[in-house]
């Protein structure tokens, strides 16, 4: 029936223990080292991914900050350009108004001078006509009464002309 031999069982236990030690030393330990190194590589890979994610996030934040700064600077440049164009516009308008006023003043003076010249010419013409008229009258041999009436009439007309000039 069952024949149990204690020495055979002891030999099998020792053989099993020796096999376990050999397997442990030559198989399990190297496999554990390989698995440990592989796990470390995987962990390093995840760490690198996390570092790269953080670097990408930092770069995105820097990019957003730079973009906002550029937009602010662009808006400031736009405001400055508008302000400068407004100043130039006002300067151009002021210059145009000053030029127009100068032209108007020059034309007013020219018209005034032309008017005075025309009046002087008219006076000269009137004097010539008067002189011719006087000459003709004198040539007619006026009587003394006619002569006094004629001089009074000329004086009245001269006074009327003087009054109209003022």
How far, in Å, CA of 40 to CA of 30, rounded? Answer: 15
CB neighbour list of residue 12: distance below 8 Å, 6 or more residues apart: none
Measured between alpha carbons, how far is residue 142 from residues 50, 91, 130, 152, 157 in Å? 133, 73, 16, 14, 20
How far, in Å, CA of 73 to CA of 117, rounded? Answer: 65
pLDDT score at 144: 72
Phi, psi of 141 (to 5 degrees): 65, 75
Sorted by where each begins, the domain ranges of the chain are 9-165
pLDDT score at 141: 64
Residues 70-96 have pLDDT tens digits of 999 999 999 999 999 999 999 999 999
pLDDT score at 163: 47
pLDDT score at 120: 81
Q: How many other CB atoms sit within 10 Å of the CB of residue 137?
A: 14
3-state secondary structure of 140: coil
Residues 99-132 have pLDDT tens digits of 999 999 999 999 999 888 888 888 887 777 777 7
This prediction has a pTM of 0.43
pLDDT band (50, 70, 90) for residue 69:
very high
62, pLDDT greater than 60:
yes
Apex CA 130: angle with CA 124 and CA 133, to 5°?
145
- Find the largest Cα–Cα distance for the chain: 201
């Amino acid at each position: 029936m069952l024949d149990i031999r204690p020495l055979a069982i002891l030999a099998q236990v020792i053989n099993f223990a020796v096999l376990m030690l050999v397997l442990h030393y030559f198989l399990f330990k190297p496999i554990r080292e390989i698995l440990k190194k592989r796990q470390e590589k995987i962990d390093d890979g995840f760490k690198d991914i996390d570092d790269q994610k953080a670097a990408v996030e930092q770069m995105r934040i820097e990019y957003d900050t730079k973009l906002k700064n550029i937009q602010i600077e662009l808006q400031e440049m736009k405001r400055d350009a508008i302000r400068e164009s407004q100043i130039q516009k006002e300067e151009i308008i002021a210059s145009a108004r000053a030029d127009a006023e100068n032209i108007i003043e020059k034309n007013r003076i020219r018209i005034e001078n032309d008017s005075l010249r025309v009046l002087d010419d008219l006076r000269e013409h009137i004097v010539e006509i008067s002189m011719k008229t006087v000459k003709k009258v004198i040539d007619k041999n006026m009587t003394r009464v006619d002569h006094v009436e004629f001089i009074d009439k000329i004086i009245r007309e001269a006074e009327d002309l003087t009054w109209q000039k003022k």
